[in-house]
Each structure stands twice: as C-alpha cells, then as structure tokens.
Amino acid sequence: MNRISRLARITDEGVFVTKKQAIKVRAVGNVGYQVLISTQELPFRLQCRLHLSGDASEDDEESWLLVPIESDRMVVGHQTVPGKLELSLDLRLLATWQDLPEQYEGTILLTVIPIS
C-alpha cells in the first residue's frame, strides 16, 4: 500500500484525506480547565478524532466527530486539577465530488476555559 492510499480514501461522497496528529495541544494551568475546539465557517467538511493510544482505528466511523462551528464548541480534553494536559488530534477532510479542485483554507480554534 503506497503512502497516498493510506492517507486518502475514495467514497461515494468524495475523497477523505486524513492527517495523523495534525494538531498537538499542550495546556498547563494552576486551576482545572477544559480544552475546546471549533472552526470558523469552512467551505468543506472537517472531522476530528482525539488521538490516544489504544483509540479506535481510523476506519471506525463512530470514532470521528464533526468539528462544530465557532458558536458550538466541543470539549476535546479536560484537566480537573491544576497541571499539564497533552492532546493529539487527527483531522480528516472530505472533498466532495462537487467541490472544485483548488486550495482551501480554514481556521481551527482552540479555547482553554478554567473550571472550578
């Protein structure tokens, strides 16, 4: 299996492209906190999966979650006591057959909120 076929998969909807460990997060706090993810409005469908050792395989559709838009953030990690949290997120992008072939850009927002 070549490198391209491991990163991209053709489906009826289009082509899924996966980037392993696309986002690495390290948060440190003197209080407990949550790490949230969201996107600004994107011209494509973006999915993410929290990458942990022993996590579900890439082919497990249930392990992929849509990254919500900015107004509806999703918790991707939390630290209930002061300390350090390290996360690694895989990202998957769907280029549908209707999408024009070009370069697309988008913004992924990570927010850290203190919790009591």
Q: What pLDDT sits at residue 107?
A: 86
Q: What pLDDT sits at residue 56?
A: 59
Locate 2 and state its tokens: 């070549």
62-65's contacts with Cβ under 8 Å and 24+ in sequence apart are 64/92
Locate 113 and state its tokens: 């909120």
Average pLDDT along the chain: 81
Positions of the chain with pLDDT under 70: 1-6, 46, 48-59
Burial class of residue 94 in the structure, from the number of CB atoms within 10 Å of its CB (0-12 exposed, 13-18 middle, 19+ buried) = middle
Q: What pLDDT sits at residue 70?
A: 80
Q: What pLDDT sits at residue 4?
A: 53
